[in-house]
Amino acid sequence: MNSFASPLAPEQRPSTRDETLPESRPSLPSERFPLGRLPRVLRPRDLTVLCLFAVLLINNVQTVSVAGGGSLLYWTLGFLCFLVPSALVCAQLYRLFPGEGAVYLWANRAFGNFWDTFLGFFCNWWPGAIGLTVEAEAAVASIQGLNSDWLSLPWEQGVAAILILLVAQLLSALSQRWLQRILNVVFSAYALMFALVGLAGLGWLLSGQPLRGDFSAQSWQLSPSSLPVLAIVTVALLGVAVPLNMGGEVVDPRRSERYLLWGTLIIIAGYLFATFGVLAVLSPAELKEPAFVSVLFSHVFGDRIGHVISICYYLTMLVYFVCATAAYNAMFARLLFVAGLDRRLPRALARLNASGVPFNAMLWQTSINIIFLIVIFFIAPVVPNQELALTVFLVVINGASVIWDIAMISLFLCGILLCSRHSRRLRQRWVVPPPLFYLAAVLGIILTGVAIGCTFFAGSPVPEVLNNEDWGFWVLLFVLASLTVGAIYSFLVPEAEDLAALLPMPSSDPVVGSPLAASFPEQEVSRATAVPGALAGGPGQGRPLQGRASHQPEPAPWPRPGSVPGPRGWKL
């Protein structure tokens, strides 16, 4: 009998005999949130689309392809040492502890108090919240791709980016079912354009044209000077775990991990195919053009047809990045939502609107990014140095990527710690054999550490404005300032023991729908039928069994759409 099961195979459940119970640490209130109050609409296909929105970005192809033919090698190393390990760790942890705000939940189970908020919540949420600005800026760049004379002034770009954030906010206020339908359709058009870049390169070669990219032997050599490119690849592949922020809204938790398989395969195929197309058609100098895709289409299809295709491409990109902003807003707002449920943020952030989505949490993220855009495009350009706006943007975005890298290291450590701690429960439920799993986690930690180091020491991307020493100083200052704020906040919030007191839970019987109950459904059903008044449900759903704890008071009702959870004393 095999000792592990693939994500596509039916789940093989171990015997419940001689199994150790989960650790006795009190569960968070958000783990016992009745998931019937959240619309469970996400299927594996939907999670795959959300994963691709987070990871598959055409701009990354241009950035990495500057390295020439060796970029294909760097992509491959990134896939093997970071993307695949990320997917394996997420799949394995989700089998152990499914739920809303999964990365935050895993950090709580692995590290306990303080670190769950600092690593699981703050270091995952803060870079994603700032990421809305990146998506909005990409939409502005798509408008400029239609006509280089449009939005040439900083204030015009700022106004356009703010409008894009507001449109995305309106989209994310829709029910998740309707938003997901829009995202699925838009991503289909985006995938067509992504594939067209690769097909253009293939058609270029089949027509007898030579390779125009740098495929020299020197471009394939691995050396310490190659590490910055490998770091860029690593940062480009961040985000596989982001859809699991909505892990409590999936239709079938046992099938949801399939998105990690299909998402990983599509990301690998998409990046390799598009990189090949770009390298086949464009010279190294043309690769540095902002409108490199227009140049590619002109070479392959001619000026007239290429211009028409370019217009279709940039219109598709505009719609795509507006929807990507909405998708980012929705996914990262779930971390604010569970933190609000756990009374670690103001309770208003856990308010659900009439569509069953945390509107206030998404509005808070939009407001943060609008303030950031005002600083970049309206305040920074006033100073004599006109390049300050770009410098501030690059420092903040690179600093945020370092914080996200720290969160990824904590995710790999969660995988190692939790899977070691619960190895008996994982018999016959491993995604891959345990030695391969632990090796993948270690490789992920190493490559993420390389990415962090290169961010500081690889040199300034704008040396004419900020030299290498100043670049490292300002990025480090932003990172330390952010981590200090996160550490102070994590120190001040209630601990798990205090949170557990908010919702009574008996000491002996497990919570119906807890990770243990989710692992052994047969045991859950037998307990629910044997104890009157028990409520059965999926992961994180239901109330404590009432058999030996009938003296416990009834917990306060959880929020319905439009209501506010939490103690009465919490006010904005």
pLDDT above 70: percentage of residues in the chain:
80
Query: pLDDT per residue over 82-126, tens digit each?
Result: 999 999 999 999 988 888 889 999 999 999 889 999 999 999 999
Query: pLDDT per residue over 137-150, tens digit each?
Result: 999 999 999 998 89
* pLDDT value of residue 384: 60
What is the DSSP-derived secondary structure letter of residue 250? B
537 class by beta-carbon count within 10 Å (0-12 exposed, 13-18 middle, 19+ buried) = buried
Question: With 70 as the cut, is the pLDDT of residue 498 above it?
Answer: no
**Ranges 15-29, 160-174, 220-234: which has the least confidence:** 15-29
Contacts of 101 (CB under 8 A, 6+ apart): 30, 121, 245, 247, 248, 334, 335, 337, 338, 339
Question: With 90 as the cut, is the pLDDT of residue 379 above it?
Answer: no
* pLDDT value of residue 517: 35
Question: What is the rounded CA–CA span in Å between residue 384 and residue 393?
Answer: 17
Classify 511 as helix, strand or coil: strand
**Does residue 84 sit within a domain?**
yes
**Ranges 222-236, 382-396, 412-426: which has the least confidence:** 382-396
**Does residue 317 sit within a domain?**
yes
Average pLDDT on 362-379 reads 93
Q: Where are the alpha helices (DSSP H) in 422-532?
A: 434-457, 468-492, 496-502, 515-519, 521-530
- Domain holding 313, by residue range, is 57-502
More confident residue, 510 or 362: 362
- With beta carbons less than 8 A apart as the criterion, state whether 391 and 465 touch: yes
More confident residue, 544 or 346: 346
Read off the tokens for 556: 């306060």
Question: With 70 as the cut, is the pLDDT of residue 418 above it?
Answer: yes
Average pLDDT on 386-400 reads 86
Number of domain units in the chain: 1
Average pLDDT on 174-189 reads 96
Question: With 80 as the cut, is the pLDDT of residue 34 above it?
Answer: no
More confident residue, 494 or 547: 494
* pLDDT value of residue 188: 96
Query: pLDDT per residue over 284-327, tens digit each?
Result: 999 989 889 999 999 999 999 999 999 999 999 999 999 999 99
CATH number of the domain to which 130 belongs: 1.20.1740.10
Neighbour tally for 553: CB within 10 Å: 6
Question: With 80 as the cut, is the pLDDT of residue 27 above it?
Answer: no
**Does residue 265 sit within a domain?**
yes
The residue behind tokens 């047969």 is 522
* pLDDT value of residue 99: 83
* pLDDT value of residue 326: 96
* pLDDT value of residue 28: 78
Helix 70-78 with 58-65: angle, nearest 10 deg: 130
CB burial readout 86-102, b (16+ within 10 A) else e: bbbbbbbbbbbbbbbbb
**Does residue 321 sit within a domain?**
yes
* pLDDT value of residue 496: 61
**Does residue 441 sit within a domain?**
yes
Question: With 70 as the cut, is the pLDDT of residue 26 above it?
Answer: no
Question: With 70 as the cut, is the pLDDT of residue 35 above it?
Answer: no
Return the top range by mean pLDDT from 466-470, 472-476, 556-560.
472-476
pTM of the complete model: 0.83
Question: With 50 as the cut, is the pLDDT of residue 213 above it?
Answer: yes
- Computed over every residue of the chain, the mean pLDDT equals 82
Classify 42 as helix, strand or coil: strand
Query: pLDDT per residue over 337-368, tens digit each?
Result: 999 988 899 989 999 998 889 999 999 999 99
**Does residue 572 sit within a domain?**
no
**Does residue 294 sit within a domain?**
yes
Query: pLDDT per residue over 255-287, tens digit each?
Result: 888 899 999 999 999 999 999 999 999 999 999
**Does residue 12 sit within a domain?**
no
